[in-house]
Amino acid sequence: MAEGEGFEPPVQLLAARSISSRVPSTGLSHPSVSGTLAHRVCVDKSESQGFSQYIVKNSGGVALDVSPLLRLTGRVIDDAKQLADFLGALRQAKWLAIDTEADSLHSYPEKLCLLQVAIPGRVELVDPLCGMDLDALWETLADRELMMHGADYDLRLLQSGHEFVPARIFDTMLAGRLLGRERFGLADLVQHYLGITLEKGSQKANWAKRPLTSQMAEYARNDVLHLHDLV
């Protein structure tokens, strides 16, 4: 069907509401707090079971009806017990977003150096270089729809190095192109639709090096943190 003859785009990116709340000490923002709820919002941090948890409150100290912004373990998952614990949460998650980091600028052949996974209220970094058995992870991800951005490179990397092919994906880069965006990089879409500026200083880092710096970890988390809000 030609455009203009009842054509409706098969995808849609949703713009954020009017208030962005800056999360202390993480460099992360939360865009989905409605301006009608409060003229000013604040973010409280609490520690629970090894996680940092952020809750949005209005100026009167009342928690707003939104999910916890983010739970960060402050670590990279690099042992079987940590991975098993996370897989339990993955299996219950309503949605999943993933991204990868590789060492293509520093090694040939390139290899997967980091897998970033976001689920509601949580972002984790999984280390594929530490010798863990990742079969259960690939199994868990295989039959789910995965939100990704510019998935072509990631899918080739995952298939060639780990024989992983997901059943379904939603690619926010393709969605941006279908919606006519001239600039459809992740940072461009997040800025346009969510009003958030992403730090991109670690693009050329050597992702095979350990430990990751805090800047690299934040960069990696940002690659999946906002995908669900774009969709």
Q: What is the mean pLDDT of the chain?
A: 77
CA distance linking residue 174 with residue 197, whole number of Å: 20
Domain boundaries, the chain: 18-72, 74-230
Q: What is the CATH number of domain 74-230?
A: 3.30.420.10
CA distance linking residue 116 with residue 165, whole number of Å: 16
Residue among 154, 180, 177, 173 nearest 165 (CA)? 154
Mean pLDDT for the stretch of residues 20-38: 33
Local confidence band at 50 (pLDDT 50, 70, 90 cut-offs): very low
**Does the predicted model carry a pTM greater than 0.95?**
no
CA distance linking residue 99 with residue 173, whole number of Å: 13
Q: How many angstroms separate the most distant Cα atoms in the chain? A: 56
pLDDT at position 76, please? 93
Provide the 8-state DSSP code for 15: P
The answer, yes or no, to whether residue 138 has pLDDT greater than 60, is yes
CA distance linking residue 229 with residue 44, whole number of Å: 21
